[in-house]
Structure 1
């Protein structure tokens, strides 16, 4: 058993909010920190949605939901957020400078025993180890979106991570119902995002370059039994995270198409305040996206084919 009973989650976005809620459901005492009160309000509202999901899909009782809420607190005060933390999981935006600044700001506020983990989806723990001020007590712990069903947690060390830190963090993952996935050496993208980001980038390229409509990209992925396509997944991940990842790696890799895909997301979604599932609209509208409607994958009526053909012809 780990001794990590008091968790602080830095960042109340999509995954931060999920990690906080699920850990509280699994009997951990959780503090959620964010610099933005509006973000905290959105997180609280999303937790209401999770309560309904856990009641209908996870087997939670009303008493479980009440207990989960009682284990959660929210704050914009960093010092207060980490004052009693046994483990801090960082889930702030996927921007190297933002993450580094958070670790530097936090370093002098932490109790001596506190362990740190980054939930970064593509950046390495060694990128931030020095900033933490406690490199031996730091590693990566990356969760999957939809944590109640995608219950895995990728554990990745950096050269300074101690065996005790890795043991405690892995035990924590098991205690909250995760299947721990060891990443055997540092690798940008870990395991899941090494295939997931290229999938999203390839799907976005088809849309950015006007080759296919979003719903048709998703249909080609969903026919055969998958519940959601790549553009629907992008809505679930959130447009801000999708933009951050594609913008970062477009620049890092000198990949003009990836950068163009990031620009497309910014112009079509972020600049209009559309964040995907968190705001109820992205490529689809929620809570009833078109891909979940009966008939989305049906063979079309022959009478509708003139419009189908017209879509492929020049204006």
Structure 2
């Protein structure tokens, strides 16, 4: 599969697109928001030095060639015209995802494989909306995918083996380590472990138990982990935890989401990708 379409020009959608282009794929990024698309040139300029820093095979010429393989559009039919694989990275709201996939299923070529990058939703929650549930699965990438290069691949009961095999092969071709899940699991492997940890940190912050720098330092020093929970929040970006928690049955998590909206999202402190979140980055 040589032609990838990425739905959503946010932090992770742009990383998936750039990384696939870096490994030789032709990529189209679709987003309804023309402003988000216009900012992608700055995003490529932001990612390039990180590749040079972290990947021994990265060169200026290879990065420039990757940018040439990236195209953008706000027209869905144009985005899907040649798609072998579609990876969706739109906001973590079920109704939005179903609406997007219903449109994609009406337009995409017959052979196209459909994948959601949803962090918590199950493929079976979304697959029927696409009209092609047998070709639908989940491919979950972690942030900073050029460094943390695993992709969790999870089908649902109706996903055909050929679609999963194709997703595994594509992942390997773009330098990822594919991890197959044998059954549907909310949160896959990574987030099944990560979300309880992040929830505990959110409640420590909400109740003013300690400063965020001290919470992060305690976790790093006590476990040897490279990042604390609030550094991870900055890596993920504020919008995903806001969307996940604002509809929670837990009133404390709803309060945390409201705090994120008021003190961070509304102030433009969206996380490390924009240089400001819980911490300031230079």
Q: Output the TM-score relative to the length of structure 2.
A: 0.96
Structure 2 residue corresponding to 1:131, chosen from 129, 132, 152? 129
**Mapping of 1:91-130 within 5 angstroms?**
91-130=89-128
Corresponding residue of 1:56 = 53
Q: Distance in 2 between matches of 1:66 and 1:107?
A: 33
Deviations 1:104-134 (A, max 9, x none): 1222111111110000010001011111111
> Is 1:221 aligned to 2:216, yes or no?
no
Q: Is the 8 A contact 1:201 1:261 kept in 2?
A: no
The number of residues matched between the two structures is: 280
Contact 2:54 2:147 in 1 (8 A): no
| Runs of 4+ more than 6 Å apart | none
SS in 1 for 2:110: coil
Q: Which shows bigger deviation, 261-270 or 143-152?
A: 261-270
Q: Give the whole-Å Cα distance in 1 for the aligned partners of 2:39 and 2:272.
A: 12
CA distance in 1, matches of 2:100, 2:192: 25
RMSD, aligned α-carbons: 1.2
Aligned position for 1:88: 86
1:232 alignment counterpart: 231
* Corresponding position of 1:310: none
CA distance in 2, matches of 1:279, 1:61: 24
User: Is the 1:275–1:281 contact (alpha carbons within 8 Å) kept by the matching residues of 2?
Assistant: yes
Give TM-score, length-normalised by structure 1.
Answer: 0.86
Query: What is the SS of the residue equivalent to 1:211?
Result: coil
Aligned to 1:275: 270
Is the CA contact 1:13–1:43 (under 8 Å) kept in the aligned structure 2? no
Deviation string, structure 1 residues 180-206 (Cα, Å, up to 9, x no partner): 111221111111001111111111111
Q: Which residue of 1 aligns with 2:24?
A: 27
CA displacement, residues 239-270 of structure 1 (integer Å, 9 cap, x when unaligned)? 0012112224x1xxx21222222111112111
- For 1:7, the equivalent position in structure 2 comes to 4
Asked whether the equivalents of residues 19 and 146 of structure 2 are also in contact (C-alpha less than 8 Å), the reply is yes
1:261 to 231, 235, 256: 256
Shift of 1:41: 2.7
Q: CA deviation at 1:48?
A: 0.8
* Match in the other structure for 1:298: none
Larger radius of gyration, structure 1 or 2? 1
Deviations 1:13-68 (A, max 9, x none): 11101100000001111001111122123333121111111122213112101110
For the 8 Å contact 1:140–1:155, the answer to whether it is kept is yes
User: Structure 1 residue 6: deviation in Å?
Assistant: 0.2
Matched residue, 1:181: 179
Cα distance in structure 2, aligned partners of 1:233 and 1:247: 19
SS at match of 1:141: strand
List gaps (5 residues or longer) in structure 2.
Answer: none
Alpha-carbon distance in structure 2 between the residues aligned to 1:56 and 1:150: 14
Q: Measure the CA separation in 2 of the matches of 1:277 and 1:34.
A: 21
